[in-house]
Chains A and B, each alone.
Chain A
């Protein structure tokens, strides 16, 4: 299966700071998603981004499929951004493979 590695595993930011989260994957993918798991445990879709760049407010993501990585950018972080960020990848319509997540703590 596809190996998905996320870094860093933990990240502490002061409110207002910017950050970049990375997701490396071991094989070709045609579905790459970023999720935010909030403190109540729900996984919220952030981006469906098998390639290219997308932006949604203070968040943006870039996937370079040929180099097998994706980046999630958080600008002007807020305390509500705290939680765990997961990326998930799959090839064709087989199973999704999840990384182990980046735990973000934004301090006021």
Chain B
């Protein structure tokens, strides 16, 4: 069974440019998460979806960040315009909403803003 798939793995852009990250969760997982991880720190939640509904986006900087999960499966996280401080790893994770709700992560997308 395929795990959580993310792309691109690495992205280097100049500040003020836009960037987008894509995530495909584990089949059947209706909860999808986007996390931000800065160097030396634990992951921090940006947004959580249950199916296509964003149920927790309180930590998403909405002035420049946006996310969508239109059909309740894959998701896209966008930053426009990117700032130097956005350099980090963007992690996607998924889980079932019921049962154990065990969390599984993708390999992450490492963003460098120059």
A→B interface (CB under 8 Å): 31, 33, 35, 40-43, 45, 48, 86, 88, 90, 93-96, 98-101
Q: Give the distance to chain B from A25, nearest Cβ to Cβ, in Å.
A: 13
What number of A-B contacts does a CB cutoff of 8 Å give? 49
Bin chain B's interface residue count: 20 to 34
Q: Are A98 and B43 in contact (CB under 8 A)?
A: yes
Q: Decide: B101 and A93 in contact? CB cutoff 8 A.
A: yes
Q: Is the CB of A100 within 8 A of B103?
A: no
Partner of A42, one of B31, B45, B56, B107: B107
Residue contact B107 to A41, C-beta cutoff 8 Å: yes
Alpha-carbon distance between A90 and B33 when the two chains are bound, in angstroms: 14
When C-beta atoms are compared, the residue in chain B nearest to A6 turns out to be: B42
CB distance from B96 to the nearest CB of A (A): 9
Interchain nearest-CB distance for B21 vs A (Å)? 14
Q: Could you tell me which residues of chain B, from 17 to 75, have a CB within 8 Å of some CB in chain A?
A: 31, 33, 37, 41-45, 48, 56
Q: Is B89 an interface residue (CB 8 A)?
A: yes
Chain B residues contacting A48 (CB-CB under 8 Å) are 100, 102
Identify B103's interface contact among A40, A41, A42, A96, CB under 8 A.
Answer: A96
